[in-house]
Amino acid sequence: MSEKHERTVPAVVGVLGGGRMGAGIAHAFLLAGSKVTVVERDGQAAEAAQERIERDLAKSLERGTVDGNLDEWSQNLTLSLEYADFAGCDLVVEAVPEVWDLKVSALQEVERNLGETAWLATNTSSLSVDGLAEQLQRPERFCGLHFFNPVPASKLVEVVISKHTGEELKKLSVQWVEGLGKTPVVVNDAPGFASSRLGVAIALEAIRMVEEGVASPEDIDNAMVLGYKFPVGPLALTDIVGLDVRLGIAEYLESTLGERFAPPQLMRDMVARGELGRKTGKGFFSYDG
Ligand SMILES: NC(=O)c1ccc[n+]([C@@H]2O[C@H](COP(=O)([O-])OP(=O)(O)OC[C@H]3O[C@@H](n4cnc5c(N)ncnc54)[C@H](O)[C@@H]3O)[C@@H](O)[C@H]2O)c1
């Protein structure tokens, strides 16, 4: 079945950083009918971003999950190395790496190049949206739009509202996410938002259960998959995300929300041994090839 989205997305969208997430965000807005400008830091990265976006658009068409025309989407996509090309955008979504200083300077530079009525969002997965807003001239026009990886297949976007986000943007951001054919979850800015905080809490408890010998990883995951209808068990999901990535999030949540997020010793030991999950072939489970 093909699905046509209501046009409630901004007409002209900018994306800063065309990596894994930025390319996915560009893809989502192109499918919904926006014109999209992706700004990258160098020519090679811009070329890679363009390839990634066009490949994913072609895949979406092949799957038959969307209506549209590849040539039209390509015409609606512009790659650039100049922040000045964000000038005509209604909305810019920032998706540069998760480094505070980089995010702050990039967001400030984007804001300087935006029209007064444009909106600005960050795809940060862990940094304080309140804190980022406080570095901007127009914090009421700024919020978090936390997309999930891989963007084309993921239905969820967390809309992260800062203390400074204005009423108009609170409404618009929800409409935009719905216009992308995704489901918004509205969260007031707090460490880990809704998804990482709860997801990591369950994973840490599952790891403590392995550590205490309560049950095997298989049995713990099966308890959640078969008993609670989780699509993937918390340990298998930790292997997919990467133990190192989840350790980083747990350390951050421990520092902001307290000891209940302290990473179990087993998790630290596995990371030290390089058992990071799927990407290294071994985590709580083993993976061939
Ligand atoms: N990967 C995930 O699963 C995931 C999920 C949700 C949110 N996020 C968040 O999304 C953001 C981006 O993550 P990613 O996984 O796409 O990273 P990535 O490394 O794949 O992409 C980042 C891109 O930003 C570009 N870049 C760096 N500095 C730049 C600059 N000054 N100007 C323009 N472009 C610049 C890089 O060339 C790269 O293409 C991070 O904040 C991350 O926390 C990631």
- DSSP assignment of 28-53 equals HHHHTT-EEEEE-SSHHHHHHHHHHH
Distance 22 CA to ligand 1 centre (A): 7
For position 2, what pLDDT does the model report?
Answer: 43
Q: Where are the beta strands (DSSP E) in 130-279?
A: 142-147, 156-161, 183-188
> For residues 52 and 55, what is the distance between their CA atoms, to the nearest angstrom?
5
pLDDT of 150-172, one tens digit each? 999 999 999 999 999 999 999 99
Q: Is 134 helix (H, G, I), strand (E, B) or coil?
A: coil
> Which of 21, 44, 145 has the most ligand 1 atoms within 8 A of CB, as the residue to mutate?
21
Q: Does the C-beta of 170 come closer than 6 Å to ligand 1?
A: no
Q: Does the C-beta of 63 come closer than 6 Å to ligand 1?
A: no
Determine which residue's CA is closest to atom 18 belonging to ligand 1.
19
Residues making up the chain, counted from first to last? 289
DSSP tag of 284 = S
For position 5, what pLDDT does the model report?
Answer: 46
Distance 131 CA to ligand 1 centre (A): 19
> For residues 168 and 156, what is the distance between their CA atoms, to the nearest angstrom?
21
pTM, rounded to two decimals = 0.91
Q: Where are the beta strands (DSSP E) in 164-269?
A: 183-188
Q: Is the preceding omega at residue 150 within 30 degrees of 0, hence cis?
A: yes
> Which of 27, 96, 249 has the most ligand 1 atoms within 8 A of CB, as the residue to mutate?
96
Is the separation of the CB atoms in 263 and 211 below 8 Å? no
For position 67, what pLDDT does the model report?
Answer: 86
For position 7, what pLDDT does the model report?
Answer: 58
Q: List, for the chain, all residue ranges whose pLDDT scores fall below the cut of 70.
A: 1-7, 289
Please give the backbone phi and psi of residue 70, each rounded to the nearest 5 degrees, phi first: -60, -40
For position 66, what pLDDT does the model report?
Answer: 86
For position 3, what pLDDT does the model report?
Answer: 47
Helix or strand holding residue 108 (H, E): helix 100-113
